[in-house]
Structure formats: C-alpha cells, structure tokens
Amino acid sequence: MSLRRNEDSEVEEEEAALLGAPTGRVGDGGRRRSDSREPAIDCRLAALLLLFLGVAISAASRIAALRLAASNVDPAASDGGGGYSVVPEIVLKGLAGAVRMQAGAVDALLRESREVGTEVEMALRDQARARESAAAAAAPPTSSAAPPAAGLPLPLPTRACPEGCTEHGNCNELTGECTCGLTRRGPACQEPTMPACMLGGRGAGAPSASPGGVDEVINLSFLVAESFWGGLRDVRTDDPRRKKVAHRWVGMVTCDCVEQALAVLSLSRASAPPRFPERIGHTELSLQRALCIDDPRPVGQLWEEGVAAGAKWSYVPLVAWLKPFPAHAPHLLPLHLVNEAHWVDIPKKDPHLMRLRRNPIELLA
C-alpha cells in the first residue's frame, strides 16, 4: 500500500505541474491554479489532454494490478462447493477505492475542460468582434446608416429594380428583378395582361393610370374552379351533352376580356408555359361556352357607357383538362388547342384520343 501511495503522489505532482499549480497537496483537497499568470489557451488544452492520458494509464495499471492480485488468491479458499474462488475483502476494498479515486480525477478533469472551453469560446468571440471592428474602420463609409451592432450579420448588398416597379409589382432587392402578378407583365410590371378586363375604362393603349384612379381587373378566376366544371367529368363519347354544349353566363364582359383571361389562366403567357401531350383522352376533356359581348371597349368603359344598341352576343369556347377525380383541379387549355367541332362530333379515325393542335392560333399580341 505504501508503494501505491507513492505512485499517487507522483501522479498528482505531475498533474499539478502540467496545470501550473504548486506541487504538493493543498488544504482544500484539490489542485489550484496559480493566480499570478494566465497560460495560453492552446497550452492548457494540451496539458489537459496529457493529464487525461496520464490518469487513464494510471487507472489501467492499478486495475490490472488488482486483478492480478485477485487471480493469485489461494484456490483452497473457495466456497466449498467446487465453484468460484472467494475474493478477499481487502482486494475488493482496494479495487473500489481505486475506482473512486479515478472517478474523482476524471470529474476534476471534466470541470477543468469546461472552464477552458468557456475561455476558448470567449476568446474566439472577442477575436471575431475585433476583426469586424477593424474591417468596418478600414472600409470607406458608403451611407449615413449606423453600422450593425457587434455580433450581428452584415446586411447583404441590394440591387435597384426598374423604375416604377413597386407601383404594380414587388421588387426583389437581392436580384434587382420586379416580380409581377398574373394581371401584369414587363420589366417594371407596367403592362397589363388583361387590358380588356380593366374596370378603370383603359384599353390596351391607355396611359398607366386611369382617370378615376381605378387600376383593377374583373376577377374571372372562377373559370378554373371545380364548381364551374361540376358534373362535367368523364363525359363519355356517346353522352348527349356533347351534342348540346352548355352555355355559361360569366357576367357582363366582352369576348376580348374572356380570351385574355383564358390566356392568363391557362398559363400560356407564363415564362415557362406548360407542355401538353399530342393526344388526350376524350373523356378527360370537357367543353363549355362562355357568353360574352362582342365589343372592343374595356369592361369598365362598357359598364359606364352601357351596351350599345344592336350589340352582338357571342361566346368563347372553354376547354378544360379534367383528369379522373381527384387527380388535380381543372386545367384550362389555351384557345384553339382543341378543335371544338371534334369535341362535339368525335372523328371516327380518333375514337379514343383527342388530337391536339401543335400550333394554336395566337389571338393576342
């Protein structure tokens, strides 16, 4: 036991030397760092690593010695049943004491490592703040805005959008692009996509603001609603509704307005318009006729001035792709992509699939 105490004293002295503490034991039973100096952080980390390795090696050697002592017990001291040998109590106490000693050493190392970790984190944070302060002081002032607080990320550079973007669109300051809604297009969203549907009385060549300040279009988004196409899914080739196509009232609107709304809602004017197959099953296509007034005036002007005497009523054919429910909502097809006469009277050469036109007629510039 005297040999073991000498080894413990040597290990503790090595630990104290690595940690910068005075050799020997202190009154509070632990190791104490010198208050007169501040060792470098990297040196302390290396010292902790070496100390941890030394404690681990010491623990392994002590436990191996105790196991060796236990294995050398006289077999005659068995329990009398021919079974296992009885380990002396002094060996068990020595093993328990060694385990407790090593556990205390590991706990002290963990506390020390947490303290060093906190100091490292604070040092890194101070270095980052110092670099940011130096960079801010070296850079020339670009604006009168106050610099960001320490520790906060620097603002990203912004790009200017085309003039007038925010009047009808949203400016993306990261890319400098103006994002438009469905009813607007152009670099600054200055061009309406549905000028015939405008309620301010403006046509295609009207100024960018109506006299009354109204810059809205009539809402025809119900043309793609499930309720508008209710009961028209899976119309068979011999269904009587093919011979008598339904006419739908969509409001006091002009035919130009309906055609422009169809171009917008079918996404044929989108930056990436959808690509349709060459053929679609007859039962997946449905046709309705939207009633409208054949009048060149915008809807707003038509409502203000009234319908002219002898106005001619007409319709715009609306074709929707209705996959078996509930695959997806109705998808309007561009104007003239489907031959209206072929939907009413299915050609004998195409009894199952509708052949789509590859080059639909563009009615709008």
Instruction: For residue 77, give Cα distances in angstroms to 67, 72, 74, 80, 87.
Output: 17, 11, 6, 8, 9
Domain ranges of the chain: 158-193, 195-201+216-328
The pLDDT assigned to 142 comes to: 56
Query: How confident is the model over 118-139, as pLDDT tens digits?
Result: 887 888 888 888 888 888 777 7
Query: Which of residues 210 and 339 earns the better pLDDT score?
Result: 339
Q: What is the pLDDT of residue 248?
A: 93
When the pLDDT of each residue in the chain is averaged and rounded to a whole number, the result is 75
Q: If we measure between CA atoms, which residue out of 345, 323, 299, 325 comes closest to residue 183?
A: 299
**pLDDT at residue 265 in the model:** 92
CA distance linking residue 234 with residue 219, whole number of Å: 28
Weakest-pLDDT range from 14-28, 37-51, 143-157, 267-281? 14-28
Residue 310 is predicted with a pLDDT of 77
Residue range 309-320, pLDDT digits in tens: 778 999 999 999
pTM above 0.85, yes or no: no
Over range 253-277, report the average pLDDT: 88
DSSP character string of 279-338: EEEGGGEEEEEEEEE--SS-HHHHHHH-PPTTPPEEEEEEEEE-PSTTS---EEPPTTSS
Task: Give pLDDT, residue 27.
Answer: 40
Across residues 167-172, what is the average pLDDT? 90
Is residue 256 pLDDT above 80, yes or no? yes
Band (286; pLDDT cuts 50, 70, 90): very high
Give pLDDT, residue 204: 43
pLDDT tens digit sequence for 176-235: 899 998 889 899 998 999 999 998 744 444 444 444 445 688 999 999 998 999 888 888
Q: State the Cα–Cα distance between residues 189 and 111, nearest whole angstrom.
A: 63
